[in-house]
Amino acid sequence: MMQDFATVWSERGLLFAGLGNTVLLSLLAALAGLALGALLSTLLMSPKKALAAPAKVFVDAARCTPFLLFAYIVYYGLPSLGLQFDAWSAGLLALTVYHAAYMAEILRAAWAAQPRAPIEAGLAFGYSGFGLFRRVVLPPLALSSAPVLGNQVIQIIKDSAFLTIITLPELTNAVNSIQSRHFIPFAAFVTAVLLYWALCLVVEAGVSAVGRLAEARR
């Protein structure tokens, strides 16, 4: 058993490359997804039907679609429309757009739950535009939506594993190739599970830290 883990360690180049891809993909998708999701949520809440309706259709459809299917369509299906992607770009695009829909819904719900009075107070004190957004609107919104967004980041990390199927060399892919070459499935996959667990614990620690910030201000 220990021998197997030593074998895994001997392949750490491949392992860490895979881990690096997972982390990089997840991070980029999380940031881009959040930005895109924020944009989408403003569309969702727009009073103009022409903007809100298609946004809602997209968000609802994305939330009813399995991620793997979504990734398949981006990677295998879009080429027939003339758009070609390599595995990495397809994976990043799929992760970003898919989770942007979820983040849009999270932000919309968080915004709806925000009390209006502090914002009115901001207006009364002369805040407007970007200043109002950055100093009055954003802080409480960020604090209240942090736990749910944190969960979404964990989802992104897990969904990134699906991309092994479109041959993207992330963590699960790396571990799978290690185990098939050395016949050490248990050690290899347990290593992967522990690494994913560690990533999630890091995200949860981040969310807790934000939660403590929020508690102090409640």
Distance of closest approach, residue 130 Cβ to another protein, in angstroms: 35
CB neighbour class for 98 (10 Å; exposed up to 12, middle 13-18, buried from 19): buried
The residues binding another protein (CB under 8 A) are 60-61, 63-69, 72-73, 76-81, 154, 157-162, 164-165, 172, 175-176, 179, 185-186, 189-190, 192-193, 196-197, 199-201
Q: Closer to another protein at the Cβ: 22 or 136? A: 22
Quote the least distance from Cβ 28 to another protein, whole Å.
18
Our CB check for another protein shows the closer of 9 and 197 to be 197
- Quickly list DSSP for 51-114: HHHHHHHHHHHHHTS-HHHHHHIIIIIGGGGT----HHHHHHHHHHHHHHHHHHHHHHHHHHTS
Separate counts of helices (H) and strands (E) for the chain: 10, 0
Nearer to another protein, 41 or 191 (CB): 191
- Least spacing, CB of residue 184 vs another protein, in Å: 9
Complex with another protein: residue 35 or 197, whichever CB lies closer: 197
Q: How far is the CB of 81 from another protein (least distance, A)?
A: 7
* Euclidean distance between CA atoms 187 and 168, whole angstroms: 22
CB of 78 to another protein, least distance (A): 8
Q: For another protein, give the closer residue by CB, 23 or 136.
A: 23
